[in-house]
Amino acid sequence: MNELVASPFAGTRNAVADTAGARQDQSRELAETQVKYLMAQQFPRDEIANTDKILNAFTRPTLAEQSQYQFSRGGSDISGPSIRAAEAMAQHWGNIEQGFRERSRGVDGKGVPFSEVEAFCVDLESRTSKRLQFIVKHWRDTRQGGYQIKEERDIYELIANQAQRRVRACILALIPGDVIDAAMQQAEVTLKAKADTSPEAIQKIVAAFEPFGVTKEHIEKRIQRRLDAIQPAQVVSLKRIYASLRDGMSSPSEWFDMDEAAQAGATTTLKDITEKAAAKKASNKKAQTQTEFDQTPQQNPNVEAMIGRINSCTDTDVLDIVADEIRDYEGDDLKRLEDAYRARRAELEAQ
């Protein structure tokens, strides 16, 4: 009589935990996904009307100023839609779901924790999607070296910062290219029409570049003319360069002819400004006596750093960009940041 050989897959059917809670979560997620696709089919987008909405959105000067980034590569200037522009286009294009999620965590060979993150964008109407997976180490590099990030809020902010560019790429992969080009042209027209070349506006531009070690002479050498003769298109270009420096996508030496001393002492991004301000405050706090420390309520260092960024803003438009990050806070921290924002905005408007 032939003997049967035991199946190598025997006993593995129930290897995965199958609890009532897991089945309920899977059923709810499946139902929500089905409803999203069903609603997208029942209410398809009107491409002409939605394109008009996108173009109309980029007639707003505040959005137009944040709509494009610019950096230098291979001797040529490269520009493209920013994450704010991509989010605005996705909102008005309709039937699009986009974002990012942290899939798992682990530790690399050097003992540094990391997160596996996925950025995604799904067109619910055409049922096409774009997904990008990447690794984010819980590590922050500084000029003095680096250190491991342990606070959950810091980890989330690092992941969100890394994910924004991937989310932008996913959104732009699903929205038609001609719609994107039309939106950027509209932003260009809006900026040129609203470009302020008054002496007050020029002083604000010079003040905005100061933290990066860029002086008035550096700017005049780049535009090949005196600042009082600057053209609207050059104002637009300088604002894009500032956005690139602010987001850490380039360094001052890529745009301006800076000497080594100025370049060494320059701060490349607003994050460096925040870190220096936080380090200075931490040093001053450590110098306090134990009695003063006990009498003073401890503050969240992230909130203190954010308040420092708010107070360092020299323009209401830049202030609004920085204030967009306030929504990540809550409770007393949120109240303090809102108070700092209103106070700084009142000061700038009174100038």
Q: At what angle do helices 177-194 and 47-57 cross, to 10 degrees?
A: 30
Burial of 112 (0-12, 13-18, 19+ CB in 10 A): middle
Looking at 70-74, 98-102, 119-123, 302-306, which range is the least confident one?
70-74
Looking at 119-128, 136-145, 289-298, 323-332, which range is the least confident one?
289-298
What is the predicted pLDDT for the residue at 275? 56
Per-residue pLDDT of 219-260, as tens digits, reads: 888 888 888 888 777 887 788 788 778 777 778 888 888 765
Q: pLDDT category, 300, cuts 50, 70, 90?
A: low
Contacts by 227-231 with C-beta closer than 8 Å and gap 24+?
A: 227/202, 228/199, 228/202, 230/197, 230/202, 231/197
What is the predicted pLDDT for the residue at 251? 80
The pTM score is 0.57
The structure tokens listed for 46 are 């009107």
Per-residue pLDDT of 81-124, as tens digits, reads: 988 899 999 999 999 999 999 999 999 988 999 999 999 999 99
Taken in order 343, 344, 348, 351, is the CA torsion positive or negative? Answer: positive
Residue 157: name the closest of 302, 53, 318 by CA.
302
Q: Which residue has the higher pLDDT, 16 or 326?
A: 326
Given a cut of 90, whether residue 173 has pLDDT beyond it is: yes
Q: Which residue has the higher pLDDT, 109 or 300?
A: 109
Residue 61: name the closest of 178, 201, 167, 218 by CA.
201
What is the predicted pLDDT for the residue at 295? 42
Q: pLDDT category, 30, cuts 50, 70, 90?
A: confident
Mean pLDDT of the chain: 79
